[in-house]
Amino acid sequence: MKIGLFELADRLEGLLGVSHVLRDPELRGPYEVDWTRRWRGKAAMVVRPASAVEVAKAVLICADAGARIVIQGGNTGLVGGGVPLDGEVVISTTRMSWIGEIDVVSAQLSAGAGATLASVQQAASSGGFEVAIDLGARDSATLGGMVATNASGLSAVRFGRMSSRVVALEAVLADGTMISGTPGSRLGGHGYDLASLLIGSEGTLGIVTGVTLQLEQAPKSQATALLALDVGGRGAGGARGVVREGELVTESAVFTAGHLSSILRSQLRAVELFYRDGMDLVCDHARIPPPFQASHDAYLIIECAGVGDETAGEVAADIAGALLNCPLVVADAVATDAPTRARLWRYREGIPEAIASIGIPHKLDVYVPRMQMPGFIADLRSLARSVAPGWEVVVFGHVGVGNLHVNLLGVDVQSTAVDDVILELVIASGGSVSAEHGIGRAKAAWMPRVLSADQLGVMRILKRAMDPDALLNPGVMLPASDV
């Protein structure tokens, strides 16, 4: 006989202590809504284990009760994958924040799933290394969540996604089985590569509790450049019209990014695109002056690192040389010292916070092939004006890898109709409905549009084999009725 809710709570309190089993609605509240404030639900309780052993025991207790589980890390996702719907037990990984010693010989570092990216970056930096993956949400995003969604981020143009950084995983399966030291893609060859199976599975196949990362030597010098682009010296409302001008400026940004990539090659570590509206939002919200005297159609921010003993000044000179054949770059600011570089990055990294300050946004993280970006952006803005004139559309993203963040303001928070229209446009442009934040619940219904029936069939087989009672993250990636 399955145990009831009260006995479930009592047993979990006996395992973890009363202070780490949150039943009170006010205490549960922060775990029941994501940071965008769009995704909300209700948890039966929130449990906060401090180790893989405690996770395994908590999972077994939940299984005895037939209680479904939602796994939550830093709660920085955009697709509802870590937010409860109706009475699930939330397992928060944030107490598993341990960070081990650096293995300097193999350049590896192990840490708990609840360790924030920023804390791991700091630990790596103290030993002369870097994590080689970066997110704007570094202060709250956790390693477990980044593995679960196979995050990419700002440096993906140079170092790739999370899957390229993971050496080994520690995880707990739906039956409480603990797997440890599972070899990742770098050390495969010992049977099935279970780590790769769990990476990107969004908590539907197991709960990541620890990660071993491959580090890189920290560069000795870096330079950051903020570039302003205009089309023919005209603003977005120029003679050729708003929509066409928008297409041209995106085309110029994509061309410029490609040129810089071909010239700067391994030096290049980030290429970010945003537009006039994003710049204006950040300056207004943060109350900071714009970087240039005039306002411009679009902006690129690039970051480069020195190769070998190259100085920061030499890196800056390399950037200047690459810009000689970029006629659409009408203004630039280059920084080599850390404080000034951080000030330049603030114009890009401040956009999400500035957007959130004026309303609850619909955030769509999508992939669009770079050659299709100009038409996609133009069509997106045109669609917004014709379908819903009240929409405000703010787009920015990792142009180097085709990852765009589409933000829609002035839309009913509960409506998905707007999202559907945009995702149809993404698919028509040859893109994918998700890039780095996962499928979650928000895009589960779109899986048949992006994967074949055979691919989905294999996913269902894996889900039923590893989680036969569908206890882990119900409704994430695959609709609950489809498992």
Domain extent, residue 69, equals 5-95
Tokens of 344: 């330049």
The label of the residue with tokens 């028509």 reads: 428
Q: Are 65 and 8 in contact (CB under 8 A)?
A: yes
The label of the residue with tokens 């030096």 reads: 267
pLDDT at 481: 61
Q: Are residues 207 and 268 in the same domain?
A: no
Whole-angstrom CA distances from 46 to 25, 85, 144 are: 10, 13, 17
CA distance 409 to 407: 7
Q: Are residues 228 and 283 in the same domain?
A: yes
How buried is residue 274: exposed, middle or buried, by Cβ count under 10 Å (0-12/13-18/19+)?
A: buried
pLDDT at 245: 55
How buried is residue 190: exposed, middle or buried, by Cβ count under 10 Å (0-12/13-18/19+)?
A: exposed
Q: Are residues 44 and 115 in the same domain?
A: no
In which order are the strands placed within the sheet that holds 108-112? 108-112, 207-214, 166-172, 178-183
CA distance 64 to 471: 11
CA distance 145 to 201: 10
Q: Are residues 229 and 346 in the same domain?
A: yes
- Tell me the H-state helices in 210-363: 242-264, 276-286, 312-323, 338-349, 351-356
The label of the residue with tokens 């000179």 reads: 317
Q: Are 151 and 436 in contact (CB under 8 A)?
A: yes
pLDDT at 391: 82
Number of domains comprising the chain = 4
Q: Are residues 388 and 340 in the same domain?
A: no
- Whether residue 476 lies inside any domain: the answer is no
Name the domain boundary from 73, 95, 117. 95
| Cα 333 versus chain centre, distance | 27
Residue 284's identity, in one-letter code, is D
Element (H, E) at 376: helix 373-387
pLDDT at 482: 66
Name the domain boundary from 44, 72, 95. 95
Q: What is the pLDDT along the chain (483 residues), one digit of tens a residue?
A: 577 888 999 999 999 999 999 999 999 999 999 887 888 999 999 999 999 999 999 999 999 999 999 999 999 888 889 999 989 999 999 999 999 999 999 999 999 999 999 999 999 999 999 999 999 999 999 999 999 999 989 999 999 999 999 999 999 999 999 998 766 545 445 678 888 899 999 999 999 999 999 999 999 999 999 999 998 644 434 434 444 557 899 999 999 999 999 999 999 999 999 999 999 999 999 999 999 999 999 999 999 999 889 999 999 999 999 999 898 999 999 999 999 999 999 999 999 999 999 988 889 999 999 999 999 999 998 887 777 777 889 999 999 999 999 999 888 888 888 889 899 999 999 999 998 889 999 899 999 988 999 999 999 999 999 999 999 999 999 876 666
pLDDT at 367: 96
Question: What angle in degrees, to the nearest 10, is found between the helix axes of 276-286 and 338-349?
Answer: 110
Q: Are 249 and 361 in contact (CB under 8 A)?
A: no
Tokens of 396: 């920015």
Whole-angstrom CA distances from 67 to 55, 59, 354, 471 are: 14, 9, 38, 7
CATH number of the domain encompassing residue 270: 3.30.70.2190
Name the domain boundary from 196, 217, 238. 217
pLDDT at 386: 78
Q: Are residues 192 and 277 in the same domain?
A: no
